[in-house]
Each structure stands twice: as C-alpha cells, then as structure tokens.
Amino acid sequence: MAVDQAQFIFGPGSGWASLIQYVDGTAPTIQQPRKFDVQQSMTIAFDSTVKRLMGSQIYPRAIGISDGKVTVKVKLGRFDAGIANLRMGQTGQPTSGTTSMADDEAGTIPATPFTVTVTNSATWTRDWGVRFAATGLPMTRVASGPATGQYSVTSGVYTFAAADTTLAVLISYEYTISASGSTVTMQNQLQGNFGLVQLRYQGVYAGKKLGVYLPNCVGNTFNVDTKEGDFVIGEMDFEAFSDSSNNVAFIYFANP
C-alpha cells in the first residue's frame, strides 16, 4: 500500500529532455538526452476546461471537464545546439561548424588601393554594413566604384573612395567556423509534423525528491530574450499528450 508522505521543495530543481522522434516521423538511431543546464525555473501546469451547468441559481448544479492540457515552461541560463533542437526536432541536427559575426571590426582606410581586408576574409560569407567610427553613421554599399561615403565588397575585401582615405571605419560581417561550434537549421515542414520529446523534472529538499515524467511532449516556443546589464535567460515551452498506453504524466512523491 502506498504511503502518503509530505515534503517541501526548494529551488529551481533539475530538468532533462530527450528527443525521441524527428519532425519527419523517424526516430534517432541513439537518443541524446539533454539536461537543462543552469535551470532557472520549470513550471508544469495541469489545466482543464470546466463546463458549468447553470440553472436559475448563482452556482452551477453540475460541473464537467471538456478538455485538459499539460504545459511546461522551462527557463534556463545556458544554451547548446542539442537543447535548441529539442524544440525544432530537425532531422540530422545539429551539424558541426557554425557561422559567427564580426561586430564592428575596426579598420582604417589606407591610400591606394583604398581597401581593407577583414581579419576573417578567408571564410567571409556575408556583409552586414560599414559605419564611420567617428560618427557612427552608416556608409552606403555600391556594386563598384564607390564615391565618398560609399563602399563595395568582394570576398571580405572592402573598397572605399579615395576621398575617405585615413578615416576610421567599423565593419560588421559574417564568417564561417568549421573547426568548432554547432548549427541547427530550422526547415519549413508540412503542417501537423512535429518533433516528439520526453521530459523529466526533479526537485529535492532534505533528502526527499519530487519528480514528474512526461512521456510525450511537443515543443511550442523557444525564446531568447536579451536585456542590457544582465544574463540572457532562454525560455522553452512544451505541451504534453498521452502515450500509446494512454499515460499523460507520472508524478513521483517523497522519493528517498
């Protein structure tokens, strides 16, 4: 016979997730469980829609439940590609290598040939603009033959006007890194397709543990909310539904 034990839980607890089905319906060859590292909070909400049968009195004569839902909101302080793909569910993701930004790389326009070759020109992929360092005002990109206040670029080599010689500029651009990092590519899918995830939570206080296991979940959101003067806290939302045995959730109390 089960023993009903009371307990307290303190802090954000720990959370784990594992992608068990890609959006195309196939399963990973080997599942890759992920811990929600530096977890800030996990909210697991069990909600139902209540229908009230009303008569002439103030309060209902009967109540029924028409539908319900179980939602999970996770806030975390550390990101990785595997965590991101829990929401995306993309097949074959993440992949090795990444694309990075050079943010306002400093340069000075020299005399003939009035060109600045950026640091990562060998792996340069895309221009994101040039500004005058002194004023912060943007320069105008042209195809070739730039006049004052203009520039052109080919393969990481930026060409300026003779009239702008000696001026300091700030160059932003994109470049690839093949030796490190990971990339998750989110592809458009047919409606109804989704990645399937298992979720697990555990909180601990005074040696007792509270646990929740959700065997079938679908990711709803993946938010990155940036702010000045503080760490970025990511947010992911999931919604649970029943598995093949009609189980929606398992809640474990007072585990030693």
- pLDDT single digits (tens) 80-93: 888 888 888 888 88
Q: Give the pLDDT band of residue 255 (cuts 50, 70, 90).
A: low
In a domain, 52, yes or no: yes
Instruction: Clarify whether residues 65 and 86 are in a common domain.
Output: yes
Instruction: Clarify whether residues 86 and 141 are in a common domain.
Output: no
pLDDT of residue 3: 64
Instruction: Clarify whether residues 64 and 188 are in a common domain.
Output: yes
* Number of domains composing the chain: 2
C-alpha–C-alpha distance, residues 117 and 128, integer Å: 15
In a domain, 42, yes or no: yes
Listed residue (73, 84, 96) closest to 32, CA to CA: 84
pLDDT of residue 225: 87
Q: Give the pLDDT band of residue 35 (cuts 50, 70, 90).
A: very high
Instruction: Clarify whether residues 190 and 64 are in a common domain.
Output: yes
In a domain, 210, yes or no: no
Given a cut of 90, is residue 146 above it in pLDDT?
yes
Given a cut of 90, is residue 179 above it in pLDDT?
no
pLDDT of residue 93: 87
Instruction: Clarify whether residues 57 and 128 are in a common domain.
Output: no
Determine the number of helices (DSSP H) and then strands (DSSP E) in the chain: 1, 15
Instruction: Clarify whether residues 103 and 67 are in a common domain.
Output: no
Contact, 177 vs 101, CB < 8 A? no
Given a cut of 70, is residue 184 above it in pLDDT?
yes
| Domain membership of residue 121 as a residue range | 97-180
In a domain, 3, yes or no: no
**What average pLDDT score do residues 7-36 get?**
92
| DSSP E strand boundaries for 109-207 | 115-117, 124-132, 140-141, 150-154, 157-160, 168-183, 196-205
Mean predicted lDDT score pLDDT of the chain: 93
Given a cut of 80, is residue 163 above it in pLDDT?
yes
In a domain, 84, yes or no: yes
pLDDT of residue 193: 87
Instruction: Clarify whether residues 84 and 191 are in a common domain.
Output: yes
Locate tokens 């074959």: which residue? 92
Contact, 19 vs 196, CB < 8 A? yes
In a domain, 125, yes or no: yes
Listed residue (169, 168, 158, 172) closest to 129, CA to CA: 172
pTM assigned to the model:
0.83
CA quadruple 84, 86, 88, 91: dihedral sign: positive
**What average pLDDT score do residues 171-186 get?**
92
Instruction: Clarify whether residues 106 and 146 are in a common domain.
Output: yes
DSSP class of 105: E
Please give the structure tokens belonging to residue 223. Answer: 């938010």
In a domain, 54, yes or no: yes
